[in-house]
Amino acid sequence: MFNFKNKITIVTGGAQGIGKYISEQFEAAARCRDAIEAIGKLSQRQKAVVAPGIDRDVIGVFSNDALTMICILRIRDGALNDKLEFPLGGDTIADESAVVSMLYEHYKYSSDIPDRMLLAFDCPLYDMSALAETLSFINKRKVDISKPVIGDNKKLCELANENAKQSALRYLRDNEKTDEATNALAEALSLTSVPYRIESYDISNIGSEHITAGMIVMEGGRFAKKEYRSFKITGTSGQDDYGALREALTRRLKYLVPDENGEIVPSSFSAYPDLILLDGGANHLSVVLDVMNELGVAVPVAGMVKDEYHKTRALVIFDGTDFCEVNIAKQRNVYVLLYKIQ
């Protein structure tokens, strides 16, 4: 039991301060709720749901106008031991055939394909048979796929659909927070528009011979892992972070330079970033600004300055005349966003 006796909190700042305090308490309560849910899920994974020795995957789907979430419950030796989630955006046609295609993409390189799969959604017999035949070939033994209509297997399908629904709602809540943080980031950096595509770069040194530059990408507030890149640095000797950064950004940004017809040549790098973030301060920022100036490319860019705990404490930008820091200490949503990016 919690004892709140004699606990007094003094809030300053008038109505605005009280509103902020209440908001922080709701956030703290939400974190506690999420922790309790996580513990519950961890416990749930150990529950026996069918007889020992049985392996199967149960695929559930939830869909609305904004999102389709595919959820795979993995049952091994009769117990639910894992849950996989695959969100499809509202711009994706998420009919039964699209879900089946996603399942094929998931399983085609998998080394753990059970002998039986249960579908919690209506699926054309042709698609179901084709998937079963393909996975049987990959698995080198028969894989049975069906949609149960009665009994315990139907209950498992209902559980998969409910998990897909809850995962979708949580995913949408998280993305709403990310959208708010992206808007706040744009305001903090005085950008003319909210960045859709954000690219972030960091240099990694393993000795003096193995130097790489990593690039991660966010698009529409979501991490776009298919867009991630790793640059092997070959033109820089020794542990020269600035030289490595120059090489990586030159190789990246040159694809934004129009050809003789004034057009951008289509490539995997032809997408124009709305914001570039660097793991570093004014010196790193200066290097990238020089590269942009040489190539004739203009992209908003900011450096992420870290504290002694290796966490971002501020952003550094160039205001046209000098480098200056943008304090994010009091903007928790921006801080969390940058923490995720790092």
pLDDT at res. 267: 81
Q: What are phi and psi of 154, to 5 degrees?
A: -65, -40
Q: What are phi and psi of 298, to 5 degrees?
A: -125, 110
pTM recorded for the entire structure: 0.56
Q: Determine the Cα–Cα distance for residues 200 and 323; give it in Å rounded to an integer.
A: 19
pLDDT at res. 177: 82
Amino acid at 230: S
Question: For the CA atoms of the chain, what is the radius of gyration?
Answer: 25
pLDDT at res. 262: 78
Question: Is 171 strand, coil or helix?
Answer: helix
pLDDT band for position 1 (cuts 50, 70, 90): very low
Question: Whose structure tokens read 């920022």?
Answer: 285
Given a cut of 60, whether residue 132 has pLDDT beyond it is yes
CB 267 within 8 A of CB 273: no
pLDDT band for position 95 (cuts 50, 70, 90): confident
Given a cut of 70, whether residue 314 has pLDDT beyond it is yes
281-299 pLDDT, tens digit per residue, is: 999 999 999 999 999 999 9
List Cα–Cα distances, 239 to 22, 65, 203, 243, 341, in angstroms.
48, 50, 10, 9, 24
pLDDT at res. 45: 46
